Structures are given as C-alpha cells and as structure tokens.
Amino acid sequence: MSKLNRSILFFTLFSTPIIAQTEKETKHFQNPPIIMEAMIGSRGVMHQLIVNKKFSSIPQLGFFSVTYGTATWEKEISPGIMTQAHLTYSLIKGLDVSLGMQYSPVNRFRPVAGLVYSYTTPKLLIVLNPKFDLVDDYASQNLAIFEYKPKLNDNLNFYTRFQGLYGFVPESGNHSRSYIMLRAGLNYKEFSFGAASNFDWYGPRKQNENSFGLFINALLF
C-alpha cells in the first residue's frame, strides 16, 4: 500500500467518529424559545420579551436579553422602558458570564456585566441574572424568574410565574428600580394566559405604582 493510500485510510478512520460526534451534537442542540408576553391592566399595557439563545455553531457563546415596556392609560405619564442585551459565554452547564448594555430613561445607556443562571424542564423554569454597571457608581440590578407548570390533564397545565427585579447603588445603598410580577392561569401548548399583577417601585423614595389585569404569553421557537 502506498503512503498516499495509507494516509487516506488513516484520515478516514479517525475523522469519521469526530464528524459523526459533531453532527450528533448539532442535531440534538436545541435553543430555548423566546418568551413574548402582553398584559392589559388597570394602569396600562405592558409588553415583555425574554431571549436566551446560543449560537448553534458555537454553543458556548450566546445572547441574553430582557425588554420590558409599559404604556399607561394616563397621557401625562411617560411610557416606561427597560432593556438589556448581553453576549454570554458558558462557564459550566447552566451558568454563563455576560457582558453588554442596559438602557432605562433615567440612566440611559450603560455598559454592564454579570452572570446568567438558567435551569429548564417541561414543568420548571429558573433564571437568575445578577449584574452591575461598569461605571462610577457600579449600580446593581438583580433579576429572578421562577415559572412552574404542573400538568392538569392531557391538554392543560396550571401556570404560575414569579418575576422580580431589585436595583440599588452599592456605595450609597439608594434604591433605583424594582418590581414584582405575579402570574397565575392556564397553559395550553405554547400559550399561557390568566390573571396578572405588577408591583413597581421607582427611585430612592420607592414611589409605588401597581397594576392588575390579564396576561397572555407565547413561546416562539
């Protein structure tokens, strides 16, 4: 057998398992869905979009974003919006380090860094996102999402969600922004709907604004 033929045989034998393994990993790689939600409440209309995706060709790298906007029924109150967008890098399964930006009407655009922990099963979703601004005051905002969907029958699940945010400035201890969102209802396939309540606090004096109403959310795969 010539050297060329031996080289071809060697390459074929050793590359085939690697290619097969890579194809198998890619085939079984599945991103979590985008979560889109709308709420109509006593204070106004709220919309939220949660994205936590990985690049299929580089699964260690990903993108994490939470966008939260409100438009109140009272015209004299300005609409509110909070959005964050991060590139993420997996440290271990379920735990990523993040680097990106955050925007709010008060603080405008700020560079931020943090961690993103996520755990998902058909019944349970957990997302934890502690982060801090990369500016002089190093303001911190800590997000937590807990979602539970126990099965009721072949078609319906009971749906509950707690989502909380607490923001403060470590140096002064001043509160900046926080909220608690509560959801309870039913889940059918990729849709969930039911009763909703939002509790919001703003600024160092923790000015409180609450809203109660109905919600619907959908998973976009």
Q: Is residue 75 pLDDT above 90, yes or no?
A: no
Of 36, 31, 47, nearest to 218 by C-alpha is 36
* Domain parsing of the chain, residue ranges: 1-30, 31-220
Of 75 and 74, more confident: 74
CATH of 31-220, one of 2.60.40, 2.40.30, 2.40.160, 3.40.630: 2.40.160
Count the neighbouring beta carbons within 10 Å of the beta carbon of residue 129: 22
Count the neighbouring beta carbons within 10 Å of the beta carbon of residue 36: 16
Cβ(177)–Cβ(82) under 8 Å?
A: yes
Rounded CA-CA distance 221/218 in Å is 10
Of 24 and 112, more confident: 112
Cβ neighbors of 117 (< 8 A, separation 6 or more) are 94, 95, 96, 126, 127, 128, 129
Predicted local distance difference test score (pLDDT) of residue 12: 44
Q: Is residue 25 pLDDT above 80, yes or no?
A: no
Rounded CA-CA distance 116/96 in Å is 5
Cβ neighbors of 221 (< 8 A, separation 6 or more) are 33, 190
Rounded mean pLDDT of the chain? 86
Predicted local distance difference test score (pLDDT) of residue 148: 97
Q: Is residue 82 pLDDT above 80, yes or no?
A: yes
DSSP 3-state assignment of 53? strand
What would the pLDDT profile of 32-68 be if each residue is shown by its tens digit? 899 999 999 999 999 999 999 999 899 999 999 999 9
Model confidence at 135, in pLDDT bands (50, 70, 90)? confident
Predicted local distance difference test score (pLDDT) of residue 105: 78
Cβ(16)–Cβ(195) under 8 Å?
A: no
Model confidence at 78, in pLDDT bands (50, 70, 90)? low
DSSP 3-state assignment of 214? strand
The pTM score is 0.83
Q: Which residues pair with 3 in a beta bridge?
A: none
Task: Report the pLDDT averaged over residues 6-28.
Answer: 43
Of 141, 204, 200, 130, nearest to 172 by C-alpha is 204
